[in-house]
Amino acid sequence: MSIVVPVYNEQPNIEKFYEEATKAAAALDMDYEIIFVDDGSKDATPLILSRLTQQDEHVRAFILARNFGHQLAITCGMDHALGDAVITMDGDLQHPPSMIPELVQKWREGNDVVQTIREATDDAGFLKRITSKWYYRILNAVSPVHITPGGSDFRLIDKRVLETFKQFREHDRFIRGLIGDIGYTQTFIHFVAPKRYAGKSKFSVRKMLHFALDGIMAYSKIPLRVSFYIGMLSGLLSLLLILHVIYCNIMGEAVPGWTTTMIVDCLFSGFQLIFIGVIGEYIGRIFEEVKHRPLYWLRAELGQHKDR
């Protein structure tokens, strides 16, 4: 079993997580490895990981050359995982290591993917709960791939699923969608996420918005289609307005209308800017993909798997 843990400035949490994860994994009758992926931390996280790899042969660590983001850090760990089953989870203890045996049991029952569903988070604010709820509703409305509300990157996947996942190499990735789209036999486990053990979340509002946009645009062309339909509607309204102006001129009722002109101009100019922005977002993603750059690169690899 491989346990993949992306970390970023998690100095206060790593050792506690290591203790809890080791306790849970050691209780199972199977070999295991814990793979930490440091996503360009600025604190003492790499030093702690170096020490853990030296004192425990079950621990491996990959130090990324810079911050690539949570999804690519998970991808790095999955690329290097050697287990028959791979568990991905965060290192702040909001994904409880005590659930590892339950995930493994569901896998042994024949499930290829064991996905956890977060029913609530103890330290989540009202705004985050509401935005999360509506985000999943919008995402499932525009995407052909169903994403279970409350789903997280805390899951177990079989090695067969991992090998399929490794064939997906897009840069702007939404792993929840990728795993959901892959198929295989899936089951779900519900849990309540506890508060962070220490420190503050590194998932800023900007990162949350970027992550949400990745989820929508990676699996849906509907924003482009909506832009087209609204553009058609705008053109029709413009045509009706032209006919109205011609009628007023013929009837001698034309009066210079500054207010009407400005409203119409601002309205359709705003539509155009929105549509250009949507198209530009897709083009920007195409631009990143055609470069064919690696998803990430390493500064160091610490520890060696004991079977090597």
CB 37 within 8 A of CB 76: yes
Where along the chain do its domains lie?
Answer: 2-219+293-302, 222-290
The architecture CATH gives domain 2-219+293-302: Alpha-Beta Complex (3.90)
- Say whether pTM exceeds 0.85: no
- pLDDT number for residue 308: 44
Backbone angles phi, psi at 184, to 5 degrees: 65, 180
- pLDDT number for residue 142: 55
- pLDDT number for residue 279: 75
- The tens-digit pLDDT sequence of the chain (308 residues) is 999 999 988 888 898 989 999 999 988 889 999 999 998 888 888 999 999 999 989 999 999 998 888 889 999 999 999 999 999 998 888 888 989 999 999 999 989 999 888 876 555 555 555 655 555 566 555 555 556 666 678 899 999 999 998 888 877 777 877 887 787 888 888 887 777 655 565 555 555 555 555 555 555 566 666 666 666 676 666 666 666 666 666 666 556 665 566 566 656 666 776 677 677 767 766 777 777 778 888 888 888 765 54
- pLDDT number for residue 255: 60
Q: What tokens were used for 74?
A: 């998970």
